[in-house]
Structure 1
């Protein structure tokens, strides 16, 4: 299958590399391919320049967001940062029409002016906007009514999403969306990645809970030590 991955950060790279291993043809989307390939310094998370990474992954093709979405057969995975996602995806609404868009973005607002800031080892914890009464997933769906939006992958580091065996024992992944066939695409992909416990939360409104979980995920990560793989399990 031809699959598009939008975003060149660590999460996008993890999905692209794993999908190639699984035999898919992968198209990674970025705003400006020339600018992306011209970078010579690690990104803010310490990832090597994308051009260096791409040279080691010959099964991946770098294109613009729109070109990558157009190249996909049915499934597009979006890791575009929450602040930019709605605008970036709205600009490529036509090639996304009719396709399944799996979004794992978190609507973080960095360096917030907060009355009671949450200090972390890297500065103030970003706040969520939207929160409670809306979600990034729902905003994307409203902006792209012809696209079948699924919220998934968001409650876990993407390196663990594509390799759940990095955490010992079975743990749980969640999906939410309005279209059952689109959610099945996400479930099939998760099964291929190695997940055996996938819980369908129901309609896309449940994206609110998944996105808000990001703060608890961060707190657990701080407690365990940054970089420690972990998962959560729904016991029933």
Structure 2
């Protein structure tokens, strides 16, 4: 299958490598491929320059966002939350009729807050939107001809692509969206990744809960002594 991954950060790289290992044809989207390949410094999360990483993954193609989206039969959004709506809106015609799996969190970094939450790596980002809207819903409104599914967002992406690395895979992944076929396609991919427990939360409005969980995910990681990210899972017992 031809799958497009939009973004070149650590999460996107986890999906790119896993999809290639599963035998898919992977097309990666970035704003400016030449600029991306020219970078020589680690990104804000400490990941090695993408060009250096890409050299170790032959067969993976890098394109501008629109070209990657056009080539993918299925698209995964790994663009950061602050820029996702604008970047995806600019290539809406290339995404029409396709399933877009969105795992972005609408973080606003360096927020001016009355009561900031200090963390081992700085002030916890604020989320915007929150409560009355979600990034997933904003993307769906911007892309009315695309079936948006919110998923992957309650886990580190390295665990999303390798659920067996935590508790032998005995934990839960979630999906939410307004298109049943798109959710089935997402669940099929999760099954290929190794997930055995995928819980359909219902319509895309449930993306609000998944996105807001990001703060609890961080808090659990801190409680486990993991300063950034978190190698753990959550299980819905029923």
TM range (shorter): over 0.9
Query: Quick check: 2:218–2:230 contact (8 Å CA) kept in 1?
Result: no
How far off its partner does 1:228 sit? Answer: 4.6
C-alpha distance 108-69 of structure 1, shift in aligned 2 (>3 A): same
How far off its partner does 1:59 sit? Answer: 2.2
The alignment status of 1:162 with 2:164, answered yes or no, reads: no
Q: Equivalent residues in 2 for 1:64-143 (5 A)?
A: 64-73=64-73, 75-143=74-142
3-state SS of paired residue (1:66): helix
- Residue 148 of structure 2: aligned partner: 149
TM-score, structure 1 as length reference: 0.98
What CA deviation, in whole Å up to 9, does each residue of 1:96-139 have, x standing for no partner? 00000000000000011111110001111001100000000000
What CA deviation, in whole Å up to 9, does each residue of 1:32-84 have, x standing for no partner? 000000001111111111011111101210001000000112x1000111110
How far off its partner does 1:187 sit? Answer: 0.2
- Residue 184 of structure 1: aligned partner: 184
Q: Equivalent residues in 2 for 1:3-22 (5 A)?
A: 3-22=3-22
How far off its partner does 1:30 sit? Answer: 0.3
- Residue 237 of structure 2: aligned partner: 235
The alignment status of 1:216 with 2:216, answered yes or no, reads: yes
- State the alpha-carbon separation in 2 of the partners of residues 28 and 219 from structure 1: 31
TM-score, structure 2 as length reference: 0.97
- State the alpha-carbon separation in 2 of the partners of residues 55 and 165 from structure 1: 27
Q: Specify every segment of 5 or more residues in structure 2 that has no aligned partner in the other structure, as ranges.
A: none
3-state SS of paired residue (2:231): coil
- State the alpha-carbon separation in 1 of the partners of residues 131 and 45 from structure 2: 28
- State the alpha-carbon separation in 1 of the partners of residues 213 and 185 from structure 2: 23
| Count of matched residue positions in the alignment of Structure 1 and Structure 2 | 235
- State the alpha-carbon separation in 1 of the partners of residues 165 and 231 from structure 2: 7
C-alpha distance 228-113 of structure 1, shift in aligned 2 (>3 A): closer
- State the alpha-carbon separation in 2 of the partners of residues 76 and 228 from structure 1: 25
